Structure 1
Amino acid sequence: VGTRVYTFIYTMAYAMQACAKYGKRMVVLDRPNPIGGELMEGNMLESEFASFVGLFPIAMRHGMTVGELAKMFNEAFAINCKLDVVPMSGWQRSMWWDKTGITWILPSPNMPTLDTATVYPGMVVFEGTAISEGRGTTRPFELIGAPYIDAYTLTDKLNSLNLSGVYFRPNYYQPTFHKHAGQLCGGLQLHILDRQKYKPVITAVAILSTIYHLYPDRFEWKQPPYEYVHDKLPIDVIFGSDKIRKQIEAGTSIKEIEESWQQGVDEFVKLREKYLIYQ
């Protein structure tokens, strides 16, 4: 779904590694990136934080198809299997899923709509906290909250930041399962006003930082294990680095955090160029 941490691409990578080991050919039937192939954002994964939610140093929002990623994984990251990618017909990088004419079929229970996929590259980081990421509602990842949060205080502060393409609506909800099940959570719903201008990763960092500093005595990072990793904080596993967590804790400005990963994004843009199949 266009996000580094979504595990399907690593299942593909593991299959490619097995093919390389046993001399088998891997065939990848390419599919669209639901959130388009033009926009990239977020920090690069650091190798010591590699896991099932991030094996290789790519941007959090990578703007590539699975076929393009397969080509990159195989050559740039030295899997070296016999690989055939069967390209799509008619897809262009500017296309979001709702421009393809293909019916959306949810790839996992908490990815019910394109709206979910749009916010997921950022809002997935709330899995690394004790804050509800909206599981147990019909709007996972669009809703976040916790029993101690005042929805109006939070959204007033966030809307004052004037982040691109997004509006934060105060919201109270009661998850039916998962974090804070059965409890009234104060928080927000994301409303994407312009998906071309909206930056999901820095938006999520801004929300995290705001809650962390509004409620320093209540905010909690989720503790290990997470996705088979037992020796690192889940938030660091998700970000593929401990730098962003430390920047949030230190009160680093949102602008500085975004600037700190831009060089990595620029390098990734150059790296991915030779593996792109579509215009």
Structure 2
Amino acid sequence: MESVSLGVDEFLKKEIPDSQSSWGLVTSDACKTSRGSMVRMELLQHGYNIKYLFSPEHGLSSKGIDGAWQPDQIDPLTRLPVYSLYGNRLKPMQEILRELDGVIFDLPDIGVRFYTYIWTMSLVMESCDASGKTLIILDRPNPLSGQLNLAEGPMLDEKNLSSFLGRWSIPIRHNLTIGELAKFWKKERNLSNLNLKVIPCTGWKRSMYLEDTGLPFYPPSPAITQMETILTYPALCFLEGTNLNEGRGTDLPFRQFGAPWLDSSKFMEILKDYSFPGVNFKAVSFLPKSGRYAKKYCHGAQMIISNRSDYRPIQTGIKLIALLNLHYPNHFEWADYPTLVNETGARHIDLLLGNTDLVMKIEQDPKSLIKEAGEWSSVEKWEEKVSGFLTDEYKD
């Protein structure tokens, strides 16, 4: 099998830098070549004139607290100025872009709508379109594979629920690479003044998950600590909008969940009455060091993926919160989740799910919803909609 080479690897091999051109680079410490070298260092060493760095949520270190304001800084590695795109601003300033010939974008994605790096990319696209600048996307594999038949919604209700957890209407699990999303948005959003170049990976095929690539795993953010978390995160992130702990403050964020008011043994008996294809649950108790219920014992379950082909993370997450509301109506509640981009944290579950009707269904008729989760998460027309923007090299 051909080894997987990242977009940055191909860029460094095939492109000849113009020393007269000045670039901005959107990146973080999680961005490394397939051999483990820091992307910004490799670009500089290959002769690219990187003038400014831009950092996303979690900062240049990729270790900043979820949703917390990130400062501008001087990069200790390169001594370059770093402008945070999750702090005093969310997109590059036009006065800075005027000093540049273009922007290079290289950030890892998790493959779901509410992971904010793709929305940073969308704002960078708009900024480069407004200034007529070149934007080079160094593509990376979608860690949840590129199998479009596995995409799950609902589609975002963009008119009512557009936010930094989802600006534009796409499924929750989209199964595109960031480069493919960029090509789709350029056309869909009429960014006609944007000179977009996507540098594809080689060796990666749509059927491949991250674990199939042979590439090393680097945590893209503080709570995505293990490769296995990439599979469980899309299901358990919905718990951020509830009064359960989603594993934050423990060694297994987004792999276990619980609350002081849950009884692990009884909850496991409840779970046995429902079908969760591709998933096993294990009773756990844990003591979060931080986050919701910090320093209080929580009881619940650890989620273990037994068959990723059968597993549907969004259906699983929807069924879990419906089940919790059904069986614990006196305890289960929605919860606010304050962040830089949603200071009150209000309606967090609405922004995650992207559909207020679905939220109302969970509240009013969870029993029926458990049976109908597949219908709510269906996105039948997505594959057809994006077919013209898929990368030929990624076909199996």
CA distance in 2, matches of 1:257, 1:35: 20
- The equivalences for 1:72-221 within 5 A come to 72-80=184-192, 81-221=194-334
User: Is residue 65 of structure 1 aligned with residue 174 of structure 2?
Assistant: no
Please point out which of 129, 132, 136 is paired with 1:20. Answer: 129
1:35-57 CA distance string (max 9 Å, x none): 11112112110112011110111
User: Is residue 247 of structure 1 aligned with residue 247 of structure 2?
Assistant: no
Please state how far the C-alpha of 1:225 moved relative to its aligned partner. 4.2
Q: Which runs of 4+ in 1 moved over 4 A?
A: 224-227
| Alignment-derived partner of residue 349 in structure 2 | 235
Q: Give % identity.
A: 35
Structure 1 residues 231, 102: closer, same or farther in 2, change over 3 A? Answer: closer
Question: Is contact 1:226-1:234 (8 Å) kept?
Answer: no
How many matched pairs? 277
1:130-180 CA distance string (max 9 Å, x none): 210000111111111000011122222223212210011111111111110
| Alignment-derived partner of residue 380 in structure 2 | 266
CA distance in 1, matches of 2:334, 2:121: 30
Moved more, 33-42 or 44-53: 33-42
- SS of aligned partner of 2:296: coil
Please point out which of 34, 50, 56 is paired with 2:168. Answer: 56
Structure 1 residues 226, 34: closer, same or farther in 2, change over 3 A? Answer: same
Question: Is contact 1:159-1:168 (8 Å) kept?
Answer: no
| Alignment-derived partner of residue 36 in structure 2 | none
Instruction: State TM-score, norm by structure 2.
Output: 0.68
CA distance in 2, matches of 1:168, 1:180: 21
- SS of aligned partner of 2:268: helix
Please state how far the C-alpha of 1:79 moved relative to its aligned partner. 3.3
CA distance in 2, matches of 1:99, 1:202: 24
- SS of aligned partner of 1:114: coil
Question: Is contact 1:131-1:179 (8 Å) kept?
Answer: yes
RMSD value, Cα: 1.5
Larger Rg: 2
CA distance in 2, matches of 1:219, 1:29: 43
Of Structure 1 and Structure 2, the greater helix share is in: 1
Moved more, 244-253 or 11-20: 244-253
Please state how far the C-alpha of 1:274 moved relative to its aligned partner. 1.2
| Alignment-derived partner of residue 139 in structure 2 | 30
Unaligned runs of 5+ in 2: 1-109
Instruction: State TM-score, norm by structure 1.
Output: 0.95
Question: Is contact 1:56-1:77 (8 Å) kept?
Answer: no
